[in-house]
Structure 1
Amino acid sequence: MKRFVLTLAFLFGAVQAQAADPAPAYPAHTIPNSLLRALPKNADGRSYQLHIHLPGSFAKEPKRRYPVLYVTDGYWDFATVVASYNNLAYDQVVPEFIVVGLGYAGDNLDYGSLRRWELSPVAMGEGSGQADKFLAALEREIFPLLEREYRADPAQRYLAGSSLGGLFTLHAMYAKPDLFKGYIAASPAVVAGNDWIIGQAKAHAETGKPIKARLYVTGAEHEWPAFLAGIKRYQALLPALKHPELVYQNRTIDGERHAGTKAESYTRGMRFLFEPLAPEKGPSKD
């Protein structure tokens, strides 16, 4: 009996010792060819962080400049976009380009609150409606950094975003039509401000000024009904607006809800935006 108790005590002690051992230190998983750049707090008190993915040839071709796709909500959508980009680049249906996810520096952040300030061009409650300041920060701080240090081509900027990011994308197209060459508006929040963006679209159309760009707009089949209705109103209006030189494509992603539409929207959107620059338009040679 004494031997049995000692054996139990030994085993129990061994289990305790094992439980106390630290977990093995495995390397963190990272996205290849990618890095994070935290920027100094700017004049508006915003602390931005850039998620940057560089093309495979970046180090081998030091004099080459690349198109850039800027993606809102980088903390959520950067990895999705990069995964799709790498597949499309492998198939040679898009050129090599840089992907930049736009996000915030710091830990334990409330992204919902932060993004409402940046991405809403119209007031949506307290701490919102500052999209023009974000556009100015892109133009004043972020574009020069990418073009100076990462050989980004200033003539080949593109913008993508989902939901509020999609609304920001449409707003950028109307507010600063010369900043970008193409736009992916995935499930844009058209309904914000009682279809405020539709008013902007109509006002721009009345000027007759061209939008020399490509635009890809999606909604999800199983969005909230009122939200999807707003997207469809905008999609239906595009032919009537007749924006000179704008090449656009609308799509409803079947079977998906609001967030589930992102992967297909970004994948198909990238193909559409970069089609004129695609190195190969036929099937893979493999």
Structure 2
Amino acid sequence: MSSIGTWQFTPLITQFPTNVLPNTGFWKATNGSWEYQIQLAWPLNWTTQAESTTVETMYVLDGNALGLTATEAFRRRRPVEFNQPDSIIVSIGYPETIPDSPYSTHRSNDFQPPVCNNCTPAAFPGVPPNADNFIKFIDTALRPWIKNTAFPNAVFDRDALYGHSFGGLFVLYALVARPDLFDTYLSASPALFWNNDYVFNYTNFLAPLTTPKTKPPKNFTKPAFQISYGALEQAPVKRRTETAEEFAFRQSILVPMRMTDLSTKLYNKVKNSPLLRDVSKHEYPFSDHAAVGAVALADGIDYFLDW
């Protein structure tokens, strides 16, 4: 067990058979109030976590759902991308998930941005926001533990953050609140409809990107930002085996999210931001909401490593 401030990191399973989950491990992180399940994956050619080499790092939200997806995407890419740098995947999940689901109810707290002091609290998801504390955990506890304890000899180069759906909203908030925190921000199918389009209707939300009041420090590296979504999210197509009633129900959930419209609106708002070195919008014409979680992650790796 190791500690950073009030946070304790305890090994759960740090080694699997090499033909099952090679170079993958799980740890518990807790401060007594909040608890996370951290999945780490490191290059297959490493024989120890104490390798001394330069690495790129991707932090992945909803680790229970997307941690192994990210790991496999990096590893599948390596044999055909001969110059791919050594990379570490840090997936942030939870010890408990919703029955028959890889998601946890705690994401509703962690990924939810705060609203202004005079604003009405968000009716959905109906729990207090914890995004600022979650950012603090990543920045002051998790990242130092990764660098100083989990991989003590690695030379860390650039970091990326990936989130899907409500996690995509958090990625945007992290970019607005802390543009210095990551080199690349990957927001897939972001829940921009949250709190009656608060991202757009509260003019100060995007202001740090669109009209920054101060110049960034000299050592500030402008981050890159990618927005991804599926065309079938806002315009779903009836499936062959789907009844009219089932299709109508699915439409009633997906269409109000206005994923195409709001993602495009966000792109147009921030594409000329003086704080960003690149802004990319990627539409998947044949993908729905769930599929984007995986395909945008795989393509996000390309975007991250290229930028």
The verdict on a shared fold, with TM-score over 0.5 as the criterion, is: yes
For 1:221 and 1:37, the matched residues in 2 are separated by 37
1:201 is the counterpart of 2:206: yes
C-alpha RMSD of matched pairs (Å): 2.5
For 2:199 and 2:86, the matched residues in 1 are separated by 32
Which structure would you say has the larger Rg? 1
Q: Deviations over 1:133-187 (max 9, x none)?
A: 1001111210111001214655522100100111111111110111100011110
**Distance change in 2, residues 1:58/1:114 (3 Å):** same
Decide whether the 8 Å contact of 1:171 with 1:197 is kept in 2: no
- Residue of structure 1 aligned with 2:112, choices 115, 120, 127: 120
For 1:108 and 1:260, the matched residues in 2 are separated by 20
Q: Which structure 2 segments of 5+ residues have no match?
A: 1-16, 115-121, 234-253
Aligned partner of 2:25 in structure 1 is 35
Provide the TM-score with structure 2 as the length reference. Answer: 0.73
**For residue 234 of structure 1, what is the amino acid of its counterpart?**
L
- How many matched pairs? 247
For 1:141 and 1:271, the matched residues in 2 are separated by 28
Aligned partner of 1:52 in structure 2 is 40
Decide whether the 8 Å contact of 1:170 with 1:197 is kept in 2: no
Decide whether the 8 Å contact of 2:54 with 2:157 is kept in 1: no
Q: Deviations over 1:66-105 (max 9, x none)?
A: 2210000000011111111112222226422100110113
Q: Which structure 1 segments of 5+ residues have no match?
A: 1-26, 277-286
Decide whether the 8 Å contact of 1:216 with 1:249 is kept in 2: yes
Decide whether the 8 Å contact of 1:166 with 1:189 is kept in 2: yes
- Residue of structure 2 aligned with 1:76, choices 58, 65, 69: 65
State percent identity of aligned pairs: 22
Aligned partner of 1:225 in structure 2 is 255
Q: Counting helix residues as a fraction of each chain, which structure ranks higher?
A: 1
For 1:174 and 1:161, the matched residues in 2 are separated by 15
Aligned partner of 2:288 in structure 1 is 257
Provide the TM-score with structure 1 as the length reference. Answer: 0.78
Q: Deviations over 1:210-269 (max 9, x none)?
A: 671111111111112332122221123233x43334212101111111111122211111
**For residue 118 of structure 1, what is the amino acid of its counterpart?**
D
